Amino acid sequence: MQLLFIHADFIEYEAKEKTRIAEEIAGGRKKERIEEALVVFTAVERGDVEKESSIIEKAADEIRSIVQQVHAERVVLYPYAHLSSELASPEQSLELLQGLEEELRARGMAATRAPFGWYKSFTLSCKGHPLSELSRKITVLEGAVAKEGEQERKSKALEAEEKAVSHLFVMGEPGNLVEVDKFEFGATHANLRTFYLYESEKRREVDKIPPHVELMKRLEIADYEPSSDPGNLRFYPKGRMIKALLEDYVRNSTAAYGAVEVETPIMYSVWHPSLKDYLERFPARQYSMMGKEGKPDLFLRFAACFGQFLMSKEMSISYKNLPLKIFELAPSFRKEKRGELVGLRRLRKFTMPDMHTFCATLEDALAEFKKQYELCMHVLEEIGFTPRNYEVAIRFTRDFYEDDVHKAFIEDLVRIAGKPVLIELWDQRFFYFVLKFEFNFIDALGKASALSTVQIDVENAERYGIVYTDADGARQSPIILHCSPSGAIERCMYALLEKAYLDKEAGLLPMLPVWLAPTQLRIIPVAERHMDYIKELLPHLNGLRLDVDDRDETVSKKIRDAGREWIPYVAVVGEKEVERKTLRVTIRKESSQEAQKVEEMSVLELKKRIEEDVQNKPFRALPLPYKLSERAKFTGG
RNA sequence: GCCUUGGUAGCAUAGUUGGCCAAUGCGCCACCUUGGUAAGGUGGAGACCGCGGGUUCAAAUCCCGUCCAAGGCUCCA
């Protein structure tokens, strides 16, 4: 629907001559003069009619908003076909306009409507203030919104979900399900309590800016980019490298698990029948791309599901190939609401490792689910999170839990976690999962964010027409597991920074795992003449990310700066070291806020030590010039 | 998206009953200093005070709009 608004001193019109589609004019009032009105020239377009009630509602919202802004006394709806080249049929248009008129009156606005389908003369006096001429396009399309203004129309799936009742429990000991408000959290399980409160009450009284936001800037990791859409961040060399290493690690882990890596497009047609249902559930979170006539016809994916499902549909899959695992490191887009975006925690553009596993039976799926549960724990552990750093939530339907085998299965998961787990029981299934878990990180401000997750999906194979051939030659729909072993890469970075901050609060020195540290070893010459010795050392320290602080600064200053960068190993080189062929190394992990741990060691010892820290993690070269004097600053902190 | 608060040099802040060349620290540049474990010294450059409009003799300061950020609400495939 196209709207053109004129705030007018008056409008005067006269219906002159009927067209074929003219409506009867009630009371024969062919001539009208209306003072102090917001005149709304309106064209109803093709496609508006199917969404009639939402279109009317949105249009009424717009009109009311403008009426209030310009303090108009009344509204005149004026049918004006020339605003669009894609008109709806006259009958439909008239009906919609009548509906809109009623809606405006129902909202307490004085509304009149010029007769439809007549040749009319009119005189209009525009007030000419800044807001006196405005236009709006009102669109409601599945999932996609052309104008701003979120579309809150709920799909059936959403309504079902809202009706779905769920119950929270804690499983302290395997098998012992306790209602969540009866569970004794104590000091040991304070984080689980925080997580539960977060889930149920959503209480988040916080007045600090999130520690990781400050850190991501100060450590030259990432930053906001005001010239993009909010939630699309820029990554500086150090941040880019950390992100790449995490990506490498997750990719290697899924490959070792047996997944094959693919890449699928990041945008899809909103008109695709299989995608429609999916989209309908999350109408407001779609990043849409405008197509012809300003209608959105492409959307950016919010996960890798679409691409992989569309790909899988065309594959020939035998039961012998199952379980089949497909992995993708998927740049994904979710148009989160403005107020929900925070630093690296909640973004509109992020990188989602997404693995889909096709299984023949629910038993197979459960077996795989358990393996992936353990895989996720392992991946998080290697990234730098022990189970103490996250809380486990397992969610499933009541039906699922009635089965003794399934019950034992859940208990097993709790046993593996080795700590109490939050359990959510759904009375009925909504959306596509029957069982899912997440590992949730609790940050310095008591907010919870999901990292790893696995879901069992029993619907999408059918929806997308994905089949495999069973031993009898019959076509079957597989069960699909969705797994993100680490959760979004950016979110891992957020959690690492928040964890470091929590360590600092606890009296430790904050740092990143050595394999992720942008600089693993910094060498500080006491005077310029020691640079020669350092240059001799460099070849022996190959394969480490090391840099040299060759700036014209005091040793103290350089030590302090290295500390501010959280560098795990800082080696000072002066006369003694040159003489004795050693390095004097400050070891951050063993230092405290009060005292530094300094150790004299040989180059080989140091190299070995760092290699032990790093083990067999992915490696990337130093992302910046190795001489600090040659480095530009990316942020001013 | 809504409500609240904020936006001043690369960064962190001061300045706002409207009024002289917008201040300080860090960083940057130059010089001095060649140094031994958490900020060495001196000097210099750098700001159309988020953006757009308005009120006024005069706007960083007041008003309107807009963008960005933080907190709350809501939400998270």
Kindly determine whether the C-beta of residue A342 is less than 7 Å away from any atom of nucleic acid strand B: yes
| A97 within 8 A of A91, measured Cβ to Cβ | no
Q: What are residue A147's phi and psi, to 5 degrees?
A: -80, 170
Instruction: Evaluate if residue A244 carries a pLDDT over 90.
Output: yes
Token output for A157 = 């799936």
How confident is the model at residue A8, as a pLDDT? 86
Q: How confident is the model at residue A72 (pLDDT cuts 50, 70, 90)?
A: confident
Overall average pLDDT of the A38-43 stretch = 89
Instruction: Evaluate if residue A284 carries a pLDDT over 90.
Output: no
Most confident residue range from A86-90, A288-292, A584-588:
A584-588
Token output for A472 = 């009898």
Distance A443 CA to B40 C1' (A): 40
In tens, the pLDDT along A554-578 reads: 999 999 999 999 999 999 999 999 9
Q: Strand B proximity: list residues 193-222 of A with CB under 7 Å.
A: 202-210, 213, 217
Q: How confident is the model at residue A545 (pLDDT cuts 50, 70, 90)?
A: very high
CATH architecture, range A514-630: 3-Layer(aba) Sandwich (3.40)
Overall average pLDDT of the A288-313 stretch = 82
Say whether A6 sits in a helix, a strand or coil. Answer: strand
What is the nearest nucleotide to A345, using C1' and CA?
B76
What is the nearest nucleotide to A218, using C1' and CA?
B11
Instruction: Evaluate if residue A319 carries a pLDDT over 90.
Output: yes
Kindly report, as residue ranges, where domains of CATH 3.30.930.10 are found in chain A: 168-268+302-496
Q: Which residue is nearest to nucleotide B70 (CA to C1')?
A: A209
Kindly report, as residue ranges, where domains of CATH 3.50.80.10 are found in chain A: 2-137
* Superfamily of domain A168-268+302-496, CATH level 4: Bira Bifunctional Protein; Domain 2 (3.30.930.10)
Please state which of the ranges A46-60, A61-75, A255-269 shows the lowest mean pLDDT.
A46-60
Overall average pLDDT of the A411-440 stretch = 89
Q: How confident is the model at residue A148 (pLDDT cuts 50, 70, 90)?
A: very low
Q: Between the CA of residue A211 and those of A498, A504, A512, what are the distances in Å?
A: 6, 11, 15
How confident is the model at residue A249, as a pLDDT? 98
How confident is the model at residue A291, as a pLDDT? 63
How confident is the model at residue A27, as a pLDDT? 61
Q: Which amino acid is at A142?
A: E
| A598 within 8 A of A584, measured Cβ to Cβ | yes
How confident is the model at residue A282, as a pLDDT? 63
Chain B positions with an atom below 7 A of a protein C-beta are 1-3, 10-12, 26-28, 31-40, 53, 67-77
Kindly determine whether the C-beta of residue A165 is less than 7 Å away from any atom of nucleic acid strand B: no
In tens, the pLDDT along A464-495 reads: 999 999 999 999 999 999 999 999 999 999 99
Distance A125 CA to B18 C1' (A): 39
Overall average pLDDT of the A37-63 stretch = 80
CATH class of residue range A2-137: alpha beta
My answer on whether omega of the bond before A323 falls inside 30° of 0, hence cis, is: yes
The more confidently predicted of residues A18 and A545 is A545
How confident is the model at residue A543, as a pLDDT? 93
Distance A92 CA to B35 C1' (A): 86
How confident is the model at residue A133, as a pLDDT? 74
Distance A546 CA to B34 C1' (A): 23
Kindly determine whether the C-beta of residue A587 is less than 7 Å away from any atom of nucleic acid strand B: no
pTM: 0.78
Q: How confident is the model at residue A292 (pLDDT cuts 50, 70, 90)?
A: low
Kindly determine whether the C-beta of residue A508 is less than 7 Å away from any atom of nucleic acid strand B: no
**H/E/C letters for each residue in A89-116?**
CHHHHHHHHHHHHHHHHHCCCCEEECCC
Overall average pLDDT of the A201-209 stretch = 61
Kindly determine whether the C-beta of residue A636 is less than 7 Å away from any atom of nucleic acid strand B: yes
Categorise residue A581: left if φ over 0, alpha if ψ from -120 to 50, beta otherwise.
left
Token output for A531 = 């640079």
Q: How confident is the model at residue A93 (pLDDT cuts 50, 70, 90)?
A: confident
Overall average pLDDT of the A425-451 stretch = 87
Task: Tell me which residue has tokens 């599901």.
Answer: A305
| A481 within 8 A of A375, measured Cβ to Cβ | no
| A493 within 8 A of A239, measured Cβ to Cβ | yes
Q: Strand B proximity: list residues 79-108 of A with CB under 7 Å.
A: none
Please state which of the ranges A64-78, A137-151, A246-260 shows the lowest mean pLDDT.
A137-151
How confident is the model at residue A580, as a pLDDT? 94
In tens, the pLDDT along A443-464 reads: 988 889 999 999 999 989 998 9
ipTM of predicted assembly, 2 dp: 0.92
Instruction: Evaluate if residue A145 carries a pLDDT over 70.
Output: no
* Tally of CB atoms within 10 A around A308: 24
Instruction: Evaluate if residue A301 carries a pLDDT over 50.
Output: yes
Q: Smallest Cα–Cα separation from A618: which of A238, A243, A239, A246?
A: A246
Q: How confident is the model at residue A166 (pLDDT cuts 50, 70, 90)?
A: confident
Instruction: Evaluate if residue A141 carries a pLDDT over 60.
Output: no
Overall average pLDDT of the A611-619 stretch = 95
The more confidently predicted of residues A527 and A30 is A527
Return the H-helix or E-strand segment holding A634. none
Kindly determine whether the C-beta of residue A47 is less than 7 Å away from any atom of nucleic acid strand B: no
Q: Strand B proximity: list residues 220-249 of A with CB under 7 Å.
A: 224, 226, 229-231
Distance A371 CA to B28 C1' (A): 54
How confident is the model at residue A380, as a pLDDT? 97
Q: How confident is the model at residue A164 (pLDDT cuts 50, 70, 90)?
A: low
Kindly determine whether the C-beta of residue A473 is less than 7 Å away from any atom of nucleic acid strand B: no
Overall average pLDDT of the A40-45 stretch = 86
Q: How confident is the model at residue A246 (pLDDT cuts 50, 70, 90)?
A: very high
How confident is the model at residue A570, as a pLDDT? 97
Overall average pLDDT of the A359-387 stretch = 97
Q: Strand B proximity: list residues 403-432 of A with CB under 7 Å.
A: 431
Kindly determine whether the C-beta of residue A572 is less than 7 Å away from any atom of nucleic acid strand B: yes
How confident is the model at residue A152, as a pLDDT? 35
Distance A34 CA to B13 C1' (A): 56
How confident is the model at residue A636, as a pLDDT? 82
Return the H-helix or E-strand segment holding A76. strand A74-79
* Percent of chain A clearing pLDDT 90 (strictly above): 56
Q: Between the CA of residue A87 and those of A78, A92, A310, A508, what are the distances in Å?
A: 15, 10, 34, 68
Kindly report, as residue ranges, where domains of CATH 3.40.50.800 are found in chain A: 514-630
Instruction: Evaluate if residue A40 carries a pLDDT over 80.
Output: yes
| A358 within 8 A of A478, measured Cβ to Cβ | yes
Instruction: Evaluate if residue A347 carries a pLDDT over 90.
Output: yes
Token output for A474 = 């019959």
